[in-house]
């Protein structure tokens, strides 16, 4: 897979070498980079290198570059950038960019910086900040050219010719005198209309508006589902707040998927270049939770120490039962979590899917139990151990498949993100059940 920097033909290695030389000159390939591209380069650098390169970023791009950076990387970089540098970027930024930069700054700095903004921006940014960092109202793009519903077609066309109102869309937002969202007009209809007609006569009501209180993920799903390139965001009074585009949705989805991937890997969604102590502290939390479940598994094994001394083969084989159960559960869990997120898993089909997962687990349980049992029999020449192992494997895989579909559904119902907690709970269950059934069964046979 070619990454962003390779696609740009930018050699980060060379850049880093040059950054540290005293007569650093920006390589020619950096001319004409856009903000997203700059942001991607900054994410690939240590904070010390980021500070050196920051001087070379064109002044008019600085606010965009900051707003395009991944949140965690931006936070660490801003924590070392001087107040003067931050202020310089903020005052030249669009309102949406300023809000994104503010997300990574401490409250005190925000209060100070907000006073430096132009009065217009100040009030718009304050409106945005009145939404939480999960609400779409906070990030709606306010820098949108709007057309008054009472305006005449001729005047509007005249205005559109000027570069100033140029925009990346074929449709223009129409609002009335109170700022209420009316609908949109299409450029080709403006062209075909009589010059004296008012916009009111041409306006189309949008099928879907995004309510400004919706979460970012809900808003992104709406834009995606609408098959349009952007949707208007309106507040409770019906006033136009701004646009939310498919590009914005892409950022939201990416963040969502990256944090799910990180959580499946038992780590927070952190900057590779985050300070060492911060990284260590964050990961310690995940390790601590895992340790609890590991001790629980050990406690279960501890219950059966007598049979372990008696038949050492049990100690050798027991990880297999836990591990195969863990994988079976993880397979069902992964598909169930996605099914819940996409709506593919719903209450009518839940029973069908649970049955399907159990059957799939039973089929694989039978096949692998035969394989595992046969190998164990040959290895330890003990038919009883082989039979107990095979049975324990089947039981653990069946339990795992049921838990793999029931747990995410229960978590979702009580409002806990299944992607965050599902995997830990599941592993705990498959470990405990695996050791319990295998060693417990063995105790019954060998100690009686």
Query: CB of residue 75 vs its own copies: minimum separation in angstroms?
Result: 15
Output 363 or 410, the one with its CB closest to its own copies: 363
Spatial contact of 375 and 389, defined as CB atoms under 8 Å apart: no
Q: Please give the torsion angle defined by the CA atoms of residues 364, 369, 371 and 374, in that order, rounded to the nearest 10 degrees.
A: -170
Output 1 or 196, the one with its CB closest to its own copies: 1
Output 113 or 136, the one with its CB closest to its own copies: 136
Widest distance between CA atoms in the chain: 99
Query: CB of residue 155 vs its own copies: minimum separation in angstroms?
Result: 13
Query: CB of residue 237 vs its own copies: minimum separation in angstroms?
Result: 22
Q: Which tokens is 177 given?
A: 């005198």
d(CA 45, CA 15): 10
Query: CB of residue 419 vs its own copies: minimum separation in angstroms?
Result: 9
Spatial contact of 100 and 70, defined as CB atoms under 8 Å apart: no
Q: Give me the DSSP letters along 152-173.
A: BHHHHHHHHTSGGG--S-SEEE
User: What residues pair up with 309 in beta bridges, in sequence order?
Assistant: none
Output 119 or 288, the one with its CB closest to its own copies: 288
Output 113 or 325, the one with its CB closest to its own copies: 325
Spatial contact of 334 and 407, defined as CB atoms under 8 Å apart: no
Query: CB of residue 294 vs its own copies: minimum separation in angstroms?
Result: 4
Q: What's the start-to-end Cα distance of the chain, in Å?
A: 59
Output 295 or 383, the one with its CB closest to its own copies: 295
Nearest to 154 by CA among 189, 187, 197: 197
In sequence order, the 6+-apart residues with CB closer than 8 A to the CB of 371 are none
Query: CB of residue 282 vs its own copies: minimum separation in angstroms?
Result: 9
Query: 3-class DSSP state for residue 385?
Result: helix
Output 110 or 315, the one with its CB closest to its own copies: 315
Query: CB of residue 120 vs its own copies: minimum separation in angstroms?
Result: 24
User: What residues pair up with 174 in beta bridges, in sequence order?
Assistant: 147, 183
């Amino acid at each position: 897979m070619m990454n962003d920097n390779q696609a740009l033909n930018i050699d980060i290695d060379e850049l880093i070498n040059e950054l540290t030389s005293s007569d650093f000159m920006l390589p020619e390939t950096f001319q004409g980079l856009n903000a997203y591209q700059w942001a991607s380069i900054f994410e690939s650098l240590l904070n010390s290198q980021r500070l050196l390169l920051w001087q070379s970023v064109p002044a008019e791009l600085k606010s965009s570059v900051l707003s395009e950076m991944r949140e965690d990387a931006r936070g660490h970089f801003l924590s070392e950038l001087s107040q003067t540098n931050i202020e310089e970027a903020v005052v030249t930024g669009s309102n949406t960019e300023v809000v994104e930069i503010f997300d990574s700054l401490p409250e005190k700095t925000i209060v100070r910086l907000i006073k430096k903004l132009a009065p217009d921006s100040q009030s718009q940014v304050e409106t945005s900040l009145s939404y939480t960092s999960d609400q779409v109202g906070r990030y709606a793009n306010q820098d949108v050219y709007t057309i008054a519903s009472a305006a005449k077609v001729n005047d509007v066309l005249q205005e559109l010719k000027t570069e100033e109102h140029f925009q990346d869309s074929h449709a223009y937002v129409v609002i009335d005198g109170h700022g209420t969202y009316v609908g949109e007009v299409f450029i080709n209809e403006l062209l075909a209309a009589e010059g004296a007609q008012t916009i009111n006569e041409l306006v189309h009501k949008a099928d879907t508006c995004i309510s400004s209180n919706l979460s970012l993920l809900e808003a992104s799903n709406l834009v995606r589902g609408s098959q349009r390139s952007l949707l208007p965001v309106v507040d409770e009074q019906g006033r136009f707040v701004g646009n939310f585009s498919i590009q914005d949705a892409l950022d939201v989805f990416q963040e969502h998927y990256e944090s799910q991937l990180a959580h499946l890997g038992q780590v927070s969604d952190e900057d590779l270049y985050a300070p060492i102590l911060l990284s260590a502290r964050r990961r310690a939390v995940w390790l601590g939770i895992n340790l609890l479940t590991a001790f629980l598994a050990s406690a279960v094994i501890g219950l059966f120490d007598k049979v372990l001394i008696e038949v050492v083969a049990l100690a050798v084989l027991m990880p297999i039962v836990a591990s195969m159960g863990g994988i079976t559960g993880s397979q069902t869990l992964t598909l169930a979590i996605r099914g819940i997120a996409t709506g593919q898993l719903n209450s009518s089909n839940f029973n069908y899917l649970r049955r399907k997962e159990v059957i799939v687990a039973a089929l694989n349980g039978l096949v692998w139990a035969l394989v595992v049992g046969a190998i164990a029999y040959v290895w330890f020449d003990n038919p009883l151990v082989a039979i107990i192992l095979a049975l324990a494997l089947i039981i653990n895989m069946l339990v795992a498949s049921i838990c793999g579909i029931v747990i995410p559904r229960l978590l979702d119902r009580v409002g806990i993100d299944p992607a965050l907690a599902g995997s830990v709970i599941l592993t705990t269950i498959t470990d405990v059940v695996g050791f319990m059934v295998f060693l417990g069964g063995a105790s019954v046979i060998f100690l009686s």
